Amino acid sequence: MPGGEQLPSIRDIFPDYFPLMEEPEKSYTDAAYARRKYGCDLCEKRFQRPSSLQAHMVSHTGERPHACPITNCTKRYSTRSNMKRHVASHSKIHRDSGLSTTSNSEPTMEAPGPSNGDEANKSSST
């Protein structure tokens, strides 16, 4: 500001809305950061557990170690949770198409039954 004047703080203007509070010794973010002992060598992210760091490293390598277990599906994922979500989508696809999944996750065709007597009569009358 010209002349070296300093503007009043918002706390000075509205003291009822902004009561004075003691500043914490350390902010939450500093304390949370300090608990993160495991640091990535490629970027500045830090993690509390070595397993979290290991999962993060995949973001740098592009590795996709988790393969879909469904036969003939070639999709792979960087995290197990993403792979499991994908596997669940197979179940939805099979339900929508009349396929079911057996215990070994191979799709099998369910025998369609007539929804009412009309369908059975149509096929036998031709």
* pLDDT tens figures, 34-81: 778 898 998 888 999 999 998 898 889 889 999 999 989 999 998 899
Q: What is the mean pLDDT of residues 104-112?
A: 41
Q: What is the mean pLDDT of residues 107-121?
A: 42
Query: Per the domain annotation, does 9 fall within a domain?
Result: no
Rounded Cα–Cα distance for residues 69 and 88 (Å):
11
Rounded Cα–Cα distance for residues 126 and 110 (Å):
25
Query: Per the domain annotation, does 47 fall within a domain?
Result: yes
Parent domain of 44:
35-63
Query: Per the domain annotation, does 114 fall within a domain?
Result: no
Query: Per the domain annotation, does 45 fall within a domain?
Result: yes
Say whether both 59 and 69 belong to one domain. no
**76: alpha, beta or left? (left if phi > 0; alpha if psi -120 to 50):** beta
Say whether both 78 and 88 belong to one domain. yes
Convert 70-99 to b/e letters by CB count within 10 Å (16 or more is b): beeeeeebbeeeebeebbeebeeebeeeee
Number of structural domains found in the chain: 2
Query: Per the domain annotation, does 10 fall within a domain?
Result: no
Query: Per the domain annotation, does 12 fall within a domain?
Result: no
Say whether both 98 and 76 belong to one domain. yes
